[in-house]
């Protein structure tokens, strides 16, 4: 990345996780240019473009169910909104179980189920749907069984459980093994749909198309975004066919839509980016490169890095001391590396490099991190 003053940076955030295939990947750029020469805008749900249909069909082939349907939109928050609404349509129940620390976007629906940082919610609490139970996120000090006990007792109004397979913004927090599976079981038992927010973790980032499926959990609805459009704003809610059927006959008027949803440019970019991930086996590359990057970081034994957490090319460096990640990320910026502070206490450095990052850039980062932490 080059900023407006001409300073050069290695972007280890992929622009909030978007540029998994790299910034301005030539094949994505080419697909967008070709589409721009053909058609910029179609009539969304009423008379969709061919490229939108192709994208929907492609997304359904990536789904973990034999029959699937997908809805397109622009932002991650849009995809979460579609999933929450689908759950209401399919179950008739408006209550939601979400998790402390979760981040699903800041539009009203997603904000209502986002437990991360009070400051995002507080001014708007009066306008947020209140039937949300925030359950505890398990971790080092709270085991799976104890966390399950903190789920609601009364499920009569709960139509959905929404969960990130790895909490990103909360500090790259992994649930202990078995937790997602337990949520699957509890949701089934109580007639609630399991929505997995794969907006950050999906599409190769964590080493598979879907982190949840890779962990052996088949959700009812999957939200995708960020990397999907290869740099353009595209998101999707993909669902099991029988669940999506709750929306009624697709030939009738769509009761959840948006003027620009499934726009031709974004659809072309998304198809190109999916093709790249598939053809170049980028999910597997993320597994290998991520492992090597984590090993390199651990081998440094940096005194103030308590833990290196990693799945594919999603990493979290647990620092000692709250707010530390703010200072460290600034110091890294001055050394030419873009990283994001994460965690409620801003004590985690979140790393989500593009898969195109090279060894030299990663080695340079590790040396700069040592310096930014004030190490020898
Ligand atoms: C897991 C997750 N869900 C949803 C969102 C919201 O996506 P958007 O900012 O595109 O609305 C984000 C964004 O960081 C995210 O990480």
Residue range of the domain that includes 352:
10-23+281-372
CATH number at 288 reads: 3.90.1150.10
Residues 265 and 327 occupy one common structural domain: no
For the CA of 78, the closest atom of ligand 1 is 11
* d(C-alpha 344, C-alpha 341), whole Å: 10
Question: How much distance in Å is there from the Cα of 233 to the middle of ligand 1?
Answer: 12
For residues 346-353, average pLDDT: 98
**Closest Cα to atom 6 of ligand 1:** 105
SS3 206: coil
Residues 201 and 97 occupy one common structural domain: yes
Identify the domain boundary among 219, 254, 279: 279
Identify the domain boundary among 225, 247, 279: 279
Tokens representing residue 227 in the block: 């990397």
Bridge partners of 90, per DSSP, are: none
Question: How much distance in Å is there from the Cα of 200 to the middle of ligand 1?
Answer: 7
Question: How much distance in Å is there from the Cα of 352 to the middle of ligand 1?
Answer: 14
Residues 99 and 149 occupy one common structural domain: yes
For the CA of 75, the closest atom of ligand 1 is 10
Q: Is the pLDDT of residue 41 over 90?
A: yes
CA-based nearest residue to 88, from 159, 162, 188: 159
pLDDT of residue 252: 85
Ligand 1 pocket residue status of 13, Cβ below 6 Å: no
Sign, CA dihedral 235-238-243-249, equals positive
CATH number at 275 reads: 3.40.640.10
Query: Is 343 inside a domain boundary?
Result: yes
SS3 97: strand
* d(C-alpha 306, C-alpha 68), whole Å: 42
Residues 215 and 293 occupy one common structural domain: no
Question: How much distance in Å is there from the Cα of 110 to the middle of ligand 1?
Answer: 9
SS3 354: coil
For residues 297-321, average pLDDT: 96
For the CA of 198, the closest atom of ligand 1 is 1
Query: Is 1 inside a domain boundary?
Result: no
Query: Is 229 inside a domain boundary?
Result: yes
Q: Is the pLDDT of residue 376 over 60?
A: no
pLDDT of residue 375: 65
- Scanning the structure block, which residue is given the tokens 């408006």? 94
Ligand 1 pocket residue status of 200, Cβ below 6 Å: yes
Q: Is the pLDDT of residue 140 over 90?
A: no
Question: How much distance in Å is there from the Cα of 356 to the middle of ligand 1?
Answer: 22
Number of domains in the chain: 2
Bridge partners of 43, per DSSP, are: 47
Query: Is 103 inside a domain boundary?
Result: yes
């Amino acid at each position: 990345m080059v900023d407006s003053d001409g300073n050069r940076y290695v972007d280890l955030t992929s622009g909030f996780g978007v540029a998994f295939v790299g910034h301005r990947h030539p094949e994505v750029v080419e697909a967008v240019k070709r589409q721009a020469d053909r058609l910029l805008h179609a009539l969304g749900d009423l008379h969709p473009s061919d490229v939108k249909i192709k994208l929907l069909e492609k997304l359904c082939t990536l789904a973990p169910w034999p029959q699937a349907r997908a809805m397109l939109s622009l932002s991650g928050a849009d995809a979460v909104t579609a999933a929450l609404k689908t759950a209401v349509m399919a179950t008739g129940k408006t209550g939601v179980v979400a998790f402390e620390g979760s981040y699903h976007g800041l539009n009203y629906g997603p904000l209502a189920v986002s437990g991360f940082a009070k400051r995002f919610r507080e001014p708007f609490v009066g306008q947020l749907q209140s039937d949300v139970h925030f359950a505890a996120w398990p971790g080092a000090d709270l085991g799976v069984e104890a966390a399950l006990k903190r789920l609601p007792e009364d499920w009569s109004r709960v139509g959905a459980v929404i969960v990130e397979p790895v909490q990103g913004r909360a500090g790259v927090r992994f649930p202990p093994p078995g937790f997602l599976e337990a949520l699957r079981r509890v949701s089934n038992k109580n007639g609630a749909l399991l929505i997995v927010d794969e907006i950050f973790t999906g599409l190769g980032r964590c080493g598979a198309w879907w982190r949840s499926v890779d962990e052996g959990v088949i959700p009812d609805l999957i939200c995708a975004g960020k990397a999907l459009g290869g740099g353009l704003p595209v998101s999707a809610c993909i669902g099991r066919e029988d669940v999506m059927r709750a929306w009624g006959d697709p030939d009738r008027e769509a009761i959840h839509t948006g003027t620009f949803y499934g726009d031709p440019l974004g659809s072309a970019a998304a198809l190109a980016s999916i093709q790249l991930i598939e053809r170049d086996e980028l999910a597997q590359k993320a597994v290998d490169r991520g492992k090597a990057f984590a090993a390199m970081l651990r081998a440094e034994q940096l005194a103030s890095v308590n833990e290196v957490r990693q799945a594919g090319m999603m990493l979290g460096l647990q620092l000692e001391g709250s707010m530390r990640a703010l200072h460290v990320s600034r110091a890294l910026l001055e050394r030419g590396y873009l990283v994001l502070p994460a965690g409620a206490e801003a004590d985690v450095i979140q790393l989500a490099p593009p898969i195109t990052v090279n060894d030299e850039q990663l080695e340079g980062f590790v040396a700069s991190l040592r310096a930014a932490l004030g190490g020898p």
